[in-house]
Amino acid sequence: MDKESFVLIRKKMNRTQKQLAELLGVSLKAIHSYEQGWRKIPLHIERQLWFLIYQKKKQDGVTSEPCWERKSCEMKDECSAYEFKCGDMCWFVCGTKCKCTRDVDVREKMQVCRKCKILKALLK
């Protein structure tokens, strides 16, 4: 996650840096460091932040088409996102069967998902 996306999500959540630090369980100094680009945003913090903005949008009534429909997936019956009916948060679920994320670890998966329209939709 880049610092611009981090700041954008914080603002979309209507949180101050201090409030976000408390929500994520990190120090205020860590939030400053992430936003200034002095420190790399850890994967677990990034995933938690994406999850929180997803929940916020869901509470606001924003829904999206599941990934298996958006991508015309042929492997959905074998996919964990389909099994758990969470195709709008496939980026969060490990074990997905998309051609682009099949058989990769969580770090590689997030690199692919950051470019995907399903995850990017959370920033709109």
pLDDT score at 96: 87
CA distances from 25 to 16, 31, 81, 124 (A): 14, 10, 27, 26
Per-residue pLDDT band for 19 (boundaries 50, 70, 90) equals very high
CATH of 1-62, one of 3.30.160.100, 1.10.260.40, 3.40.50.1820, 1.10.1040.10: 1.10.260.40
Domain residue extents for the chain = 1-62, 64-124
Convert the pLDDT of each residue in 58-82 to its tens digit: 888 888 889 899 888 888 898 899 9
pLDDT score at 41: 97
39-74 residues labelled b (16+ CB within 10 A) or e (exposed): eebeeebbbbbbebbbebbeeeeeebebbbebbebe
In angstroms, the CA 30 to CA 37 distance is 10
pLDDT score at 18: 98
pLDDT score at 5: 94
pLDDT score at 8: 94
How many CA atoms, within 13 angstroms, populate the side-chain half-sphere of residue 80? Answer: 11
CB 109 within 8 A of CB 94: yes
Convert the pLDDT of each residue in 26-49 to its tens digit: 999 999 999 999 999 999 999 999
Convert the pLDDT of each residue in 95-124 to its tens digit: 888 877 777 888 898 998 888 888 888 888
pTM confidence score: 0.86
